[in-house]
Amino acid sequence: MYAVQYADHGGRDVVEYAERADPEVGREDVLVDVKAGALNHLDVWTRKGLPGIDLEMPHVPGCDAAGVVESVGAEVTRFEPGDRVAVTAGVSCGECEFCRDGEESMCVDYHIIGEHVPGVHGELAAVPEDNLVAVPEGVDWETAAAAPLVFQTAWRMLITRADIDPGESVLVLGASGGVGHAAVQIADVAGAEVFATASTAEKLDYARAVGADHAIDYTEEDFAARIRELTDGRGVDVVVDHVAGETWDDSLKSLAKGGRLVTCGATAGGRPQTNVNRVFWNQLSIVGSTMATPGEVDDVLAKVWDGTFEVRVRERLPMSETARAHERLEDREGFGKVVVVPDSEYDD
């Protein structure tokens, strides 16, 4: 088969689309004929090299994909050849205290397909049965591939960890990205007043189209000051910040007293300075979140499959152009997800 891979960490030039052996299928694995994959910033970080993660090289990246079941291992019971499936990338041990309590995404041995172990951006992928969800007929492959990681992440952030209520106000930073455009929609459907930041007029228009009540160009305005203006000095109840870096202090400034900042990542830098005085004086909560439990995945994907939530795809490329897909993510071009398709399936 052909797959996206790289033999060393580095820039986009290390990414290639090359022939390699078909994946081995274990007793609890499902062999998937991949029809589409989707990129996340996680793919960029993994390509560059993450501290403490020693990958077997050459590494196949990719934690989002969808396709048709080709064959199943001897102990697989939920799927059979011909089924339509999508990958949900979080792998938990199933035995620790968190897994026993139904909090699998807090597992002490949690790892992610494509980050810690081989990914799914190839013509074929062997995936544990527990890491697949059924995809209904009528859902296109790009939607099925692009939805799982970002929508489960945003759902857990807002519904479980931030526990938003109807009528609350939510600010979503980076609303044009995968997690951002999912978070805008989830907050809107949950009944929140949604504020969103983005960097161009086109991205702001898209944010409004998917549910933002207010859209702020952070390249033109101090978004914290604008939030104070729009809320008559109060601030918002919840900030969704997966950016960190230089935005962190402004995120805290944007919160009302008793507000919650929920974070799942740090695309602009993972060690921002925190104004601790602001945190304790305004009684703020800083809440971490990552991925989701299987039940949360089922809940949010049901709303993707029925059309409640829309997966925006900014570009569809053949897998042989995955380096270009990385460039699109790094340059923050467009609104929504970038999808890659095996060259053998690409028809544009």
Confidence band, pLDDT 50/70/90 cuts, at residue 51? confident
Show the DSSP H helices in 210-315 as ranges. 223-230, 248-253, 276-281, 294-305
Give the model's pLDDT for residue 336. Answer: 83
Among 106, 114, 92, 93, residue whose Cα is nearest residue 45: 114
Of residues 50 and 140, the one with the higher pLDDT is: 140
Q: Above 90 in pLDDT, residue 301? A: yes
Give the residue among 182, 212, 183, 219 at the shortest CA–CA distance from 198.
219
pLDDT, residue 278, reads 86
Q: Which pLDDT belongs to residue 210? A: 93
Residue 279 CA: distances (Å) to CA of 138, 224, 251, 286: 47, 15, 11, 8
Tell me: pLDDT of 24 over 80: yes
Read off the pLDDT of each residue in 297-307 and give the average, rounded to a whole number.
97
What the chain holds in terms of domains, given with CATH numbers, is 2-147+311-341 (3.90.180.10), 151-288 (3.40.50.720)
Which whole number is the average pLDDT over 211-216? 96
What is the rounded CA–CA span in Å between residue 327 and residue 314?
A: 13
**pLDDT confidence of residue 269:** 60
Q: Which residue has the higher pLDDT, 268 or 193?
A: 193
pLDDT at 268: 55
Checking if the pLDDT of 266 tops 70, the result is: no
- What value does the mean pLDDT of the chain take? 93
pLDDT number for residue 348: 67
- Decide which of 274 and 178 is more confident: 178
Confidence of residue 246 (pLDDT cuts 50, 70, 90): confident
pLDDT band at 244 (very low <50, low <70, confident <90, very high): low
Tokens of 57: 């090289």
Instruction: State the DSSP string of 113-139.
Output: BTTTB----BSEEEEEGGGEEE--TT-
Compute the Cα dihedral for 235, 236, 237, 242 and give only its sign: negative
Identify the helix (H) or strand (E) that includes residue 173.
none
Return d(Cα 183, Cα 150) in angstroms, integer: 9
Rounded average pLDDT over 111-138 = 95
pLDDT band at 270 (very low <50, low <70, confident <90, very high): low
**Within 10 Å of residue 333's Cβ, how many Cβ atoms?**
14
Per-residue pLDDT of 222-233, as tens digits, reads 999 999 999 999
- Kindly report, residue by residue over 60-113, the tens digit of the pLDDT: 999 999 999 999 999 999 999 999 999 999 999 999 999 999 999 999 999 999
The reported pLDDT for the residue numbered 296 is: 96
* Nearest by Cα to 87 from 115, 46, 108, 59: 115
Identify which has the larger pLDDT, 85 or 347: 85
The better pLDDT of the pair 42, 269 is held by 42
Band the pLDDT of 143: cuts 50, 70, 90. very high
Beta strand pairing call for 214-217 and 124-128: unpaired
For residue 288, the cross-strand partners are 263
pLDDT at 315: 92
- Give the pLDDT band (50/70/90) at residue 162: very high
Nearest to 177 by CA among 169, 185, 188: 185
